[in-house]
């Protein structure tokens, strides 16, 4: 799939991995639409890039549908990436009782259901596309985490939500393959994103030192580079790619 000239939607595109991806696709010549619940940051990035911004809460399927419609405009949507996500730390049960129900539901609603909402809406829009010169109609990239495989103590909600995204990848790719639409997922390790921004620098450095090589936190533009490669490489389909510097997370 050629990035140049394609219409692309990035959900969760106002900051972190999503913002880096929006910048990378824009630099490649795509017509990018940024969708995010953070209107201030999203609008600022849209103005910086000369890109369209739409306010979107990914937990609301109607808002995701509207973002897809806005991204299509009078053309065809070829690329969709979802990076919206939140974290939560709490044990399954502890001295204060069982894990809270509301935070578990909220994490699943944003990370898993939000990904599903974009997957279904973007897939339906891409079904209408005519194949391009490479015989492709669209590419969808979702974001999981190595926590889907190596969930740590206190990560039951986060690991469950990201494991669900991993589990959707292959059946979604199979569902859409006959319509020439590819689906892949990136599972990042420890990346320098807003999820880690609140930690002291010493703690951030210690986290980065756990990575075998390179021994540092990942840069959002490294995620964006892989997202762009997935778009451009027609043989990448139904795959979950770990982007973690060979990191395997310990229990804590």
Question: Which tens digit of pLDDT belongs to each residue from 81-140?
Answer: 999 999 999 999 999 999 999 999 999 999 999 999 999 999 999 999 999 999 999 999
Cα separation of 191 and 194, whole Å? 9
Any catalytic annotation for residue 149? no
- 199-211 mean pLDDT: 86
**Tens of pLDDT along 165-183?**
999 999 999 999 999 999 9
pLDDT tens digits for 225-246? 999 999 999 999 999 999 999 9
Res 73 pLDDT > 90: no
In a domain, 1, yes or no: no
**Antiparallel, parallel or unpaired: β 138-143 and 97-98:** unpaired
Confidence of residue 202 (pLDDT cuts 50, 70, 90): confident
Average pLDDT over residues 47-55: 97
Task: With a cut of 90, say whether residue 195 has pLDDT above it.
Answer: no
Q: Report if residue 137 sits inside a domain.
A: yes
Give the total number of structural domains in the chain. 1
The answer to whether residue 39 sits within a structural domain is yes
How many residues are present in the chain? 252
Query: How much is the pLDDT for 229?
Result: 98
pLDDT at 173: 98
Which pLDDT belongs to residue 90?
A: 94
Q: Name the band, by pLDDT with cuts 50, 70 and 90, for residue 199.
A: confident
The pLDDT value given to residue 205: 87
Per-residue pLDDT tens digits for 1-38:
999 999 999 999 999 999 999 999 999 999 999 999 99
In angstroms, how far is CA 208 from the centroid of its own chain? 21
As beta bridge partners, residue 36 has: 55
CA dist., res. 114 & res. 71, Å (int): 17
Which pLDDT belongs to residue 86? Answer: 94
Q: Is the pLDDT of residue 74 over 90?
A: no
Cβ–Cβ under 8 Å, residues 183 and 145: no
| Residue with the larger pLDDT of the pair 199 and 92 | 92
Query: So what's the pLDDT on residue 24?
Result: 98
More confident residue, 94 or 74: 94
> Residue 221 domain-assigned?
yes
CATH of the domain at 36: 3.40.50.720
* Residue 11 counted as domain residue: yes
Q: How far is CA 90 from CA 101, 112, 126, 156, in A?
A: 11, 18, 39, 8
Q: Please give the pLDDT value at position 196.
A: 78
Q: Which of 53, 158, 191, 223 is catalytic?
A: 158
| Angle, CA of 48, 51 and 56, to the nearest 5° | 105
pLDDT at 183: 98
Contact (Cβ atoms closer than 8 angstroms) between residue 108 and residue 167: no
Tell the burial category of 122 from Cβ atoms under 10 Å away from its Cβ (0-12, 13-18, 19+).
Answer: buried
pLDDT band at 222 (very low <50, low <70, confident <90, very high): very high
Higher pLDDT residue, 199 or 52? Answer: 52
0.85 cut: is pTM over it?
A: yes
- Residue 214 inside a domain? The answer is yes
Residue 87 belongs to domain spanning: 7-243
Instruction: Give the ranges where 73-200 is alpha helix by DSSP (H).
Output: 101-108, 114-126, 147-150, 156-177, 194-197
Residue 192 domain flag: yes
Structure tokens, 10: 């990035």
The answer to whether position 252 is within a domain reads no
Residue 136: Cβ within 10 Å count? 18
């Amino acid at each position: 799939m050629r990035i140049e000239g394609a219409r692309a939607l990035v959900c969760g595109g106002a900051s972190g991995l999503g913002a880096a991806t929006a910048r990378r696709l824009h630099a490649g010549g795509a017509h990018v639409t940024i969708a995010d619940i953070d209107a201030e940051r999203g609008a600022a990035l849209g103005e910086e890039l000369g890109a369209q911004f739409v306010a979107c809460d990914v937990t609301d399927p109607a808002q995701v549908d509207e973002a897809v419609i806005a991204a299509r405009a009078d053309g065809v949507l070829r690329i969709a990436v979802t990076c919206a996500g939140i974290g939560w730390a709490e044990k399954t049960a502890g001295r204060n009782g069982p894990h809270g129900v509301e935070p578990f539901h909220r994490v699943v609603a944003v990370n898993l259901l939000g990904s599903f909402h974009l997957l279904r809406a973007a897939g339906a829009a891409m079904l209408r596309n005519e194949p391009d010169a490479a015989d492709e109609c669209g590419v969808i990239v979702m974001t999981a985490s190595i926590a889907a495989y190596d969930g740590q103590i206190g990560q039951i909600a986060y690991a469950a939500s990201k494991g669900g995204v991993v589990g959707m990848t292959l059946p979604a790719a199979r569902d859409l393959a006959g319509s020439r639409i590819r689906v892949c997922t990136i599972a990042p390790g420890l990346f320098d994103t807003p999820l880690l921004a609140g930690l002291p620098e010493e703690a951030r450095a210690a986290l980065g030192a756990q990575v075998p090589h390179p021994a540092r936190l990942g840069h959002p533009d490294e995620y964006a580079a892989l997202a762009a490669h997935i778009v451009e490489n027609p043989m990448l389909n139904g795959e979950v790619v770990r982007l973690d510097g060979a990191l395997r997370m310990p229990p804590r």
